[in-house]
Amino acid sequence: MTRAAMQTASQSELQIVRSVADLRRQVGAMRGRGESVALVPTMGALHDGHLALIRHARRRCRHVVASLFVNPKQFDRPDDLAAYPRDEAGDREQLAANGCDLLFAPGVAQMYPAGFATSVNVAQVTEPLEGAHRPGHFAGVATVVAKLLLQCLPDVAAFGEKDYQQLITIQRMVRDLDIPVEIDGVPTVREADGLALSSRNRRLSADARARAAEIHAVLTDSADALADGRGSAATILAKGRARLGRAGFEPIDYLDLRAADDLTQLDRADRPARLLVAAWLDGVRLIDNVPVVPARR
């Protein structure tokens, strides 16, 4: 995209549509002019991590469509859904300021009309990690993302690496179902102390927030040790779990070394890998991950 085109996009007004028919009409007009479209699916409560997705989408395509839908099907606990932060007015301001052209903000009845009976299940990559701790979560994610991709039919859709298993799941689904959309992963945005941005961070008490960055420190130190082959993965991960425990994380759902492409469990970093963690701090569940790039030996 040229600088002039980006400027025009950033100055353009944010349009809002709430029905699939209106979304298709607007995206159809963009496509009719031969212009490319990127989609950024979100559940709102936007922070800098989402805005990095919007900026990435702007670099990739002429138009950026964001969706805002708090998807009830991907919450395994009703209290988590009820506590999910909502601020459509604030989200709209941030989207407009960052060059998003079109916001698709459907209601639940638009996405799941009475009689809705379909679920998209992606096997294998969804089974460990989050899948083992949040039953039904990835079927909810895959179902809503399949719908959003088919409703909008963008050229590109952008997802954060912060939810790495989600990214791999969506890439697998799009490949398996021949959905003609390129899926881009965008690096995690972090606070100065390393804590990954997340809408859940605002639930942390001041004291917990001060300790929360230890999760990233444990990830990076363990990833370095794994990449250098300093001991077995089992020993390095046990030390990492113990360190998280000392910082007050309890329980630790997992701290696991997995293959970067298909999330199979690894006992050493002898291929591109990912170190993933989920752990609770003062009642708030935090997840994060980093790449593990095997050192040349």
Q: Does 144 bind ligand PAF (CB under 6 A)?
A: yes
Q: Which stretch binds ligand PAF (CB under 6 A): 19-27, 86-94, 111-119, 139-147?
A: 139-147
Cα torsion 207, 163, 74, 63 to 10°: value is 120
Task: Count Cβ atoms below 10 Å from residue 224 Cβ, excluding itself.
Answer: 14
- Using the contact rule CB under 6 A, the part of the chain among 14-22, 35-43, 240-248, 269-277 near ligand PAF is 35-43
Residue 1 is labelled as binding a ligand: no
* CB of residue 74 to ligand PAF, shortest distance in Å: 6
Pick from 17, 26, 38, 41: which binds ligand PAF (CB under 6 A)? Answer: 41
CB count within 10 Å of CB 259 equals: 16
Tokens describing residue 263 = 């999330």
56 is catalytic: no
Q: How far apart are CA 30 and CA 52, in angstroms?
A: 23
Q: Name, in order, each residue with C-beta under 8 angstroms of 101's C-beta and a sequence gap of 6 or more.
A: 9, 12, 14, 15, 30, 63, 64, 65
Residue 45 binds ligand PAF, judged by CB under 6 A: no
Q: Is 163 in the site for ligand PAF (CB under 6 A)?
A: yes
Does 162 belong to an annotated binding site?
A: yes
74 lies in the site for ligand PAF, by CB under 6 A:
yes
43 binds ligand PAF (CB under 6 A): yes
Binding span for ligand PAF by CB under 6 A among 41-49, 118-126, 183-191, 202-210: 41-49
Q: Which of 50, 63, 137, 216 is catalytic?
A: 50
109-114 contacts: CB < 8 A, separation 24 or more? 110/18, 110/19, 110/20, 111/69, 111/71, 111/144, 111/147, 112/72, 112/73
Q: Is 13 helix (H, G, I), strand (E, B) or coil?
A: coil
- Please give the backbone phi and psi of residue 276, each rounded to the nearest 5 degrees, phi first: -125, 145
45 annotated as belonging to a binding site for a ligand: yes
Kindly state whether residue 94 participates in binding ligand PAF, applying the rule CB under 6 A: no
211 burial class (0-12, 13-18, 19+ CB within 10 angstroms)?
Answer: middle
Q: Which residues are catalytic?
A: 50
Binding site residue list: 43-50, 74, 160-163, 166, 189, 197-200
Binding site residue list for (R)-pantoate: 74, 166
Binding residues for ligand PAF (CB under 6 A): 41-43, 71, 74, 141, 144-145, 163, 166
